[in-house]
Amino acid sequence: MDQENLTQVSEFLLLGLSEDPKEQQLLFILFLSMYLVTVLGNLLIVLAIVTDTRLHTPMYFFLANLAFVDICFTTTTVPKMLVNHITGRRGIPYAGCLTQTFFFILFISLDCFLLLVMAYDRYEAICHPLHYTTSVTPQLCSILVGASWTVSFGNSFVHIILLSRLSFCTHNQLRNFFCELNTLLKLSCSNTYINNVVVNSEGSLTVIFPFLGIVASYILIFTAVIKIPSRTGKQKAFSTCGSHLSVVTLFYGTLIGVYFSPTSSHTAQKDTVAAVMYTVVTPMMNPFIYSLRNKDMKGAFRALASRRPVLTH
């Protein structure tokens, strides 16, 4: 191997979504609009839940945490892409790329665990309604959220430590709009066997395990709902789960498609489109999904807009 190939790169080039100048302008407007909607929508969810005492329940506590994480998740990737569009530069320093990857893994892991915690909350509320207030306590909610942060941080830290040990030679072009772990591993000129093993093993812990937990929770929920004699009771039970199921389907559908589908089916374009779905579209859709069919959230939004205190009953 010659000396050129042994040179460690100092920055990576993010090729983005398009190299056409006209398409880049349209993409800039599109992603700026989506980012602003995402931040505003999720911030409104957090403010509404914090200010409305009627929403101080486990379900909305977890939703507020999910909304906060989604703001952070989108902010990890989109602003850098927008800055690159404005400046005309595509470079991101090596240290900046690793930092972006760290927070990307952290927040995507948190999304997975929070969706699992929310499924558990719905399971307890529907399958054990009489014991719900004593089983899902504020202390348990804090423990579940704290555990989600701890495991997610540890997962992200391990990946970054292993990634920092790799060498990147002359190839520094990332066919994506952010520093994504799998894309970086493909560029490395080092042996990535350990990295791939950890991706597959910890990926099962942070993605597949929560997904299977969500599926198991909803199987038990549907079994319990079928036994409800009244049609109104069934509709109410399904309505409380519909929003969560929509988000789970959208998020996990694209995520599993990227990380757990056969490698032969992958193309750079497909992976980039899927990445846009779970990093930008899903966080943007969450406020709409959770508020359009939720009377409590609509009331909290109206109260927040009119700056009136919400009276508790």
* Structural domain includes residue 311: no
Identify the pLDDT of residue 261: 63
* Structural domain includes residue 312: no
What type of residue is 296? D
Identify the pLDDT of residue 313: 46
Pairing of strands 11-14, 91-93: antiparallel
Report d(CA 281, CA 1) in Å as an integer.
43
Per-residue CA distances from 138 to 60, 141, 145, 310 (Å): 12, 5, 11, 22
* Structural domain includes residue 221: yes
* Structural domain includes residue 313: no
CATH number of the domain that 245 lies in? 1.20.1070.10
Report d(CA 280, CA 219) in Å as an integer.
29
pLDDT digits (tens, 9 = 90+) for 251-286: 888 777 666 666 555 566 677 777 888 888 889 988
Number of domains in the chain: 1
Nearest to 59 by CA among 132, 6, 163: 132
* Structural domain includes residue 256: yes
Identify the pLDDT of residue 84: 86
Reported pTM: 0.88
Q: Token digits for 310?
A: 């919400």
* Structural domain includes residue 264: yes
In the predicted model, residues of the chain with pLDDT beneath 50 are 1-6, 310-313
What average pLDDT does the chain have? 84
Consecutive H or E run containing 121? helix 94-127
What is the domain range of residue 52? 4-306
pLDDT digits (tens, 9 = 90+) for 116-147: 999 999 999 888 988 999 999 999 999 999 99
